[in-house]
């Protein structure tokens, strides 16, 4: 158990060689490789983190954009709804107005037709009544209707006497204008004379206070409007006989009947209109 000095020295040298060579071939490259790999891994982690951050930012941006778009869509929808409602209201109002104007026109037309119809009825009826009466009188009593009418008219002129005594004299001034007698038919000369005399006696009688004229001017006019009648006006009095009064009454009754009928029709029409409006425009 001795120490061999040469061996000891050689082993020291050997160990130093081992230290130097291991340092060169083992520790240095291994540590370097490890450091490099660590750096690489760190870089990769960093890169991954950066990418994650980027992706998150991108996602956030997309979310914001989508929210913005949603808001825009909502706004557009609201605007469109409001516009549609407004437009609907306007269209409904327009339609109502149109319907009302159509209704007015229709009513006006109906009224016009009614008036026209009544007028024609009146004319035709008067003529017919006149002809019937004329024929009937001729056949039954061999009398002229015109003559009978004139007779009734003269009688009325005489009958006014009683009324005149009670009626106030509206005008005391003598009237120089001729008294006009209107008739629906042509009056022959003898008839005219009779009427003239009757009027004159009438006037003379009325002006018995002394300022009565000696002669009365009488003018004759023919107007088909009177419908089978005759009339005159003087001293604020109107003396007449014609079918007008009868026809007026008849017309009134007919008009009432027509109006009632129209009201029924109108109600039915309104009901239909309302139903149509409810069907097309609910609520």
Partner 1 sequence: MQISPDETIYWQSGFIVINATLVFTWVAMILLIGGSWLITRNLSTGRSITVRQSMLESIVSMIQRQIEEVMLSNARPFLAFIGSLFLFIATLNLLSIFPGYRSPTGSLSTTSALAVCVFVVVPIYGIRAQGVGQYLRQYLQPTFFMLPFNIFGELSRTLAMAVRLFGNIMSGEMIIAILLTLVPLFFPVVMQLFGLLIGMIQAYIFAVLAAVYIASAMSDAQLSNED
Name the segment binding partner 1 (CB under 8 A); options: 27-35, 236-244, 264-272, 275-283: 27-35
Tell me the C-alpha distance between 194 and 155, whole Å: 11
Residue span binding partner 1 (CB under 8 A) among the ranges 22-30, 46-54, 226-234, 262-270 = 22-30
Residue 30 or 257 with smaller CB distance to partner 1? 30
Q: At closest approach, how far in Å is the CB of 72 from partner 1?
A: 48
Shortest separation between residue 42's beta carbon and partner 1, angstroms: 13
d(C-alpha 41, C-alpha 56), whole Å:
22
Nearer to partner 1, 43 or 93 (CB): 43
Task: Decide whether 22 or 281 has the Cβ nearer to partner 1.
Answer: 22
Contact string 29-58 vs partner 1 (x = CB under 8 A): xxxxxx-xx--x------------------
Q: How far is the CB of 55 from partner 1 (least distance, A)?
A: 23
Contacts for 198 with CB less than 8 Å, ≥ 6 apart: 154, 157, 158
> Of 25-33, 132-140, 220-228, 243-251, which segment contacts partner 1 by CB under 8 A?
25-33
Nearest Cα residue to 130 out of 145, 110, 142, 144: 145
Q: Count CB atoms within 10 A of the CB of residue 62.
A: 10
Of 224, 232, 201, the residue nearest 214 (C-alpha): 201
Distance, in Å, from the CA atom of 239 to the CA atom of 199, rounded to the nearest integer, reads: 10
Q: Which is nearer to partner 1, 34 or 109 (CB)?
A: 34
Nearer residue to partner 1 within complex by CB, 18 or 116: 18
For partner 1 (CB under 8 A), the number of binding residues is 33
Instruction: Name the residue nearer to partner 1 (CB basis): 25 or 62.
Output: 25
CB atoms within 10 A of CB 92: 13
Under rule CB under 8 A, residue 132 binds partner 1? no
Q: Is 257 in the site for partner 1 (CB under 8 A)?
A: no
CA proximity to 252, closest of 161, 121, 144, 146: 121
Q: Is the distance from CB of 160 to CB of 224 less than 8 angstroms?
A: no
Q: How far is the CB of 50 from partner 1 (least distance, A)?
A: 20
> How far apart (Å, rounded) are the C-alpha atoms in residues 161 and 206?
8
Q: Closer to partner 1 by CB, 13 or 82: give it.
A: 13
Residue closest to 153 by CA, chosen among 238, 244, 241, 242: 241
DSSP at 243 = S
| Nearer CB in complex with partner 1: 20/93 | 20
User: Rounded to the nearest whole angstrom, what is the least distance from the CB of residue 46 to partner 1 in the complex?
Assistant: 16
Task: Measure the CA–CA gap between 240 and 226, rounded to whole angstroms.
Answer: 10
- Applying CB under 8 A, does 18 fall inside the site for partner 1? yes
Binding site for partner 1 (CB under 8 A): 1-12, 14-19, 21-23, 25-27, 29-34, 36-37, 40
């Amino acid at each position: 158990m001795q120490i061999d000095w040469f061996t000891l020295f050689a082993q020291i040298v050997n160990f130093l060689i081992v230290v130097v060579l291991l340092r060169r071939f083992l520790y240095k490259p291994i540590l370097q490789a490890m450091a490099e790999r660590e750096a690489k891994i760190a870089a990769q982690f960093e890169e991954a983190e950066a990418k994650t951050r980027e992706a998150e930012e991108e996602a956030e941006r997309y979310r914001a954009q989508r929210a913005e778009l949603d808001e825009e869509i909502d706004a557009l929808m609201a605007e469109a709804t409001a516009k549609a409602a407004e437009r609907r209201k306007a269209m409904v109002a327009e339609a109502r107005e149109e319907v009302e104007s159509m209704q007015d026109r229709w009513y006006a037309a109906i009224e016009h037709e009614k008036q026209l119809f009544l007028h024609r009825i009146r004319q035709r009826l008067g003529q017919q009544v006149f002809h019937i009466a004329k024929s009937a009188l001729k056949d039954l009593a061999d009398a002229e209707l015109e003559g009978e009418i004139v007779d009734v008219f003269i009688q009325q002129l005489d009958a006014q006497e009683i009324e005149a005594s009670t009626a106030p004299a509206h005008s005391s001034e003598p009237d120089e204008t001729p008294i006009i007698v209107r008739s629906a038919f042509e009056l022959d000369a003898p008839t005219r004379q009779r009427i003239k005399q009757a009027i004159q006696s009438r006037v003379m009688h009325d002006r018995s206070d002394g300022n009565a004229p000696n002669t009365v001017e009488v003018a004759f006019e023919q107007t088909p409007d009177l419908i089978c009648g005759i009339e005159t006006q003087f001293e604020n009095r109107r003396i007449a006989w014609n079918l007008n009064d009868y026809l007026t009454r008849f017309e009134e009754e007919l008009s009432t009947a027509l109006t009632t009928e129209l009201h029924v029709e109108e109600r039915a029409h309104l009901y239909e209109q309302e139903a149509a409006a409810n069907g097309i425009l609910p609520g």
